[in-house]
Amino acid sequence: MNRDLWSYSFNKLPRWTCPHCQQGLLHSLGNYPHVEETEYSKEDQKLAESEPDWTMERFVALLKCDVAHCGEVVAVGGNRVAELFQDFEGREQHWESALVPLFVRPAPHIIPVSKNLSPACNKQLGKAFELYWLDKASCANRLRIFVERLMDHFEAPTTKLTKKDKVHLLNLSERIEEFDKMKPGHKDALDALRHVGNYGSHEGQIDTAALLDCFELLEDALDELIDEKKAMLAAKAQKLIQNKGKNTW
Ligand SMILES: [Zn+2]
Say what the pTM is: 0.85
Instruction: Please check whether residue 125 is in contact with residue 147, taking contact to mean a CB–CB distance below 8 angstroms.
Output: no
How much distance in Å is there from the Cα of 103 to the middle of ligand 1? 19
CA of 49 to the centre of ligand 1 (A): 47
pLDDT at 248 > cutoff 60: no
* C-alpha 219 – ligand 1 centre gap (Å): 21
Which residues face 103 on adjacent strands?
77
Whole-angstrom distance, CA of residue 139 vs CA of residue 126: 10
pLDDT at position 247 over 90: no
What is the Å distance from ligand 1's center to 215 Cα?
22
Instruction: Concatenate the DSSP letters of all residues of 120-135 into one string.
Output: HHHHHHHHHHHHHHH-
Q: What is the 125 CA–ligand 1 centroid distance (Å)?
A: 19
pLDDT digits (tens, 9 = 90+) for 126-182: 999 999 999 999 999 999 999 999 999 999 999 998 888 899 999 999 999 999 999
Query: Do residues 78 and 103 touch, judged by C-beta distance below 8 A?
Result: yes
Model confidence pLDDT, tens digit, residues 50-80:
888 888 999 999 999 999 999 999 999 999 9
Cα-to-centroid distance, 235 and ligand 1 (Å): 32
Span from the CA of 98 to the centroid of ligand 1 (angstroms) = 26
